[in-house]
Amino acid sequence: MNVIHRLLQQENLNFVLTNRLPRVALTRFMGRFAQIRNPLVRVPSIAAFKFFARPDLGEAKQKKFDSLRDCFVRELKEGARPFDPDPHGVCAPSDGIIGGHGRIQGDELLQIKGMPYSLKELLGNDAAASQLAQQHQGGSYVTLRLRAGMYHRFHAPTDCRVRRVTHIQGDAWNVNPIALKRVKSLYCRNDRAVIETTYRDDHGQEHALTLVPVGAILVASVRLHFLDLNLHHDYAGPQVLPCDATLQRGQEMGWFEHGSTIVVLAPPGLELVDGLSTGSEVRAGQGLLRQA
List active site positions. Answer: 95, 155, 260
Sign of dihedral through CA atoms 191, 227, 94, 60?
negative
| Cβ count within 10 A of residue 50 | 13
Q: Which ranges of the chain does DSSP label H, i.e. alpha helix?
A: 2-8, 11-19, 23-33, 39-53, 68-72, 119-123, 127-135, 177-180, 186-189
Backbone angles phi, psi at 113, to 5 degrees: -55, 125
Distance CA(84)–CA(288), nearest Å, equals 9
Distance CA(231)–CA(145), nearest Å, equals 19
Q: In what order do the strands lie in the sheet with 96-103?
A: 240-247, 160-168, 192-200, 206-214, 261-265, 140-145, 96-103, 281-282
Distance CA(189)–CA(214), nearest Å, equals 10
DSSP code per residue over 22-67: -HHHHHHHHHHHTT---HHHHHHHHHHHHHHH---GGGBS-SS-SS
